[in-house]
Amino acid sequence: MTRYIVRRLITLLPTLLGVTIVIFLFLRLIPGDPAVAMLGEHAATENVERIREQLGLNRPLFLDREALEEGDFTGFFDTQYVRYVGRLLRGDLGSSIHRRIPIAETLKARFPATVELALVSIIIGAIVGVLAGIISAARRNSPIDTTTMLGSLAGVSIPVYWLGLMVIMLFAVMLQWLPAGGRLDPAIELETRTNLFLIDAVVSGNMEALVDALKHLALPALVLATHPMSIIARMTRSSMLEVLQEDYIRTAQAKGLRERAVLLRHALKNAFLPVITIIGLQTGTLLAGAILTETIFSWPGIGKWVYDAILARDYPIVQGGTLLIAFIFVFANLVVDVSYAFLDPRIHYE
């Protein structure tokens, strides 16, 4: 088992190396000079040149062939990409060009916001989705089943950005029940330690903040949960239907077990593996930042941060944020794969 995990981690290395190359290359190919972006359009040429040198932007991208022509062996590798990877290995993500704030510091504040939103969404999505899937499968072809399946199809078809706008219009503008955006009312003071506001509020016993944070969380979490919820419901239903045809289910029914026991203890347990897979993959997707949902609800997470940075050409933020997102994504998939072996004793990895 440990050997399998180690082997998987080793095969991840080329992928992660590829990820750094892609991120690096993309940012250099995006039109616009970050030095100009820093200093403004009308900066003097020599200032721009100085900044370019400071940032290392005057170096070649991957390999410096001119240095080699002059016989300079170390200069050959002294390039933007090699410097970038070197900084990464030292744990240095750089600083925002515009605000001069270290990326790592902003990440500490922003990532918990995304985690909070993602986890609450996936919990809602998993509970509702699994329940709907079980009921659908148990009452196959009944009106409940048809409604659930149509609903889940609508759920995967609805554009998240549109749904977000609709619920804002309904609950924030027309009914004024819930706030339209943000994480917490600025008037409320909350001592932040983990930056997961729900936990911070509970730990410090600040009920007012807890209620307000929940209110702010409600709409974005529901909107973000729609898509995973629908997928989980469909997967649970089809997996349950398959298991419900097995002989041991008929045996369980024949010996007079209650329906609930058959469904939950016999069927669900055996139908759960693909469902867990889907939940795991969806968690990875959500943790990777819900750019659209975060943008619509002005949620200060990493998705919105990276999106804003792309538009503002703030290279280091895009690099750091995208890298983090890609790593989370890749590791989430790995965790899902490995968890198979724990959940299903029939699966063995050498």
Partner 1 sequence: MTQMESTPQEAGKIVGEDLRTFALREHRSLWSDAWRRLLASPTGRIGMAIVAFFVVATLLTHFFWEYNPATDLDYSLKLKAPNLTATEEVPSIHPFGTDKLGRDILRRVAHGGWNSLRVGLVAVGISLLVGGLLGLVAGFYETMPLDQTARMMLYVLIGLLLGGLVAWVAGQIIQVVAFVLLGGIAAYFSDLWTGQPRRLALFGGAGLLIGAVPALFTSLAMALVCGLLGLAIGLTLGLSLRGPVVSTIIMRTMDVILAFPGILLAIAIVAMLGPGLDKGMIAIGFVGIPVYARLVRSSVLAVMQEEYVVAGLAVGVGQRRILFRHVVPNTLSPIIVQSTMGLASAILWAGALGFLGLGAIPPEPEWGAMLGDSYRYLTTGAWWAVVFPGLAIMLSVLGFNLLGDGLRDALDPRLRA
Binding-site ranges for partner 1 (CB under 8 A): 14-16, 18-19, 22, 26, 29-31, 63, 65, 68-73, 76, 153-154, 156-162, 165-166, 168-169, 173, 237-238, 241-242, 285, 288-289, 291-292, 295, 303, 306-307, 310-311, 318, 322, 325-326, 329-330
Inter-helix orientation angle 302-312/103-138, to 10°: 130
How far apart, in whole angstroms, are the C-alpha atoms of residue 277 and residue 281? 6
330 in Cβ contact with 14 (< 8 Å): no
The residue (of 46 and 70) whose beta carbon lies closer to partner 1 is 70
What's the Cα-to-Cα distance from 274 to each of 52, 144, 226, 257, rounded to whole Å? 51, 23, 19, 25
CB of 65 to partner 1, least distance (A): 5
The residue (of 206 and 322) whose beta carbon lies closer to partner 1 is 322
CB of 239 to partner 1, least distance (A): 10
The residue (of 173 and 203) whose beta carbon lies closer to partner 1 is 173
The residue (of 73 and 342) whose beta carbon lies closer to partner 1 is 73
CB of 193 to partner 1, least distance (A): 29
The residue (of 195 and 295) whose beta carbon lies closer to partner 1 is 295
Tokens encoding 171: 């609950």
CB of 274 to partner 1, least distance (A): 13
The residue (of 116 and 314) whose beta carbon lies closer to partner 1 is 314
CB of 131 to partner 1, least distance (A): 18
CB of 288 to partner 1, least distance (A): 5
CB of 176 to partner 1, least distance (A): 11
The residue (of 76 and 299) whose beta carbon lies closer to partner 1 is 76
The residue (of 45 and 245) whose beta carbon lies closer to partner 1 is 245
CB of 170 to partner 1, least distance (A): 9
How far apart, in whole angstroms, are the C-alpha atoms of residue 287 and residue 297? 16
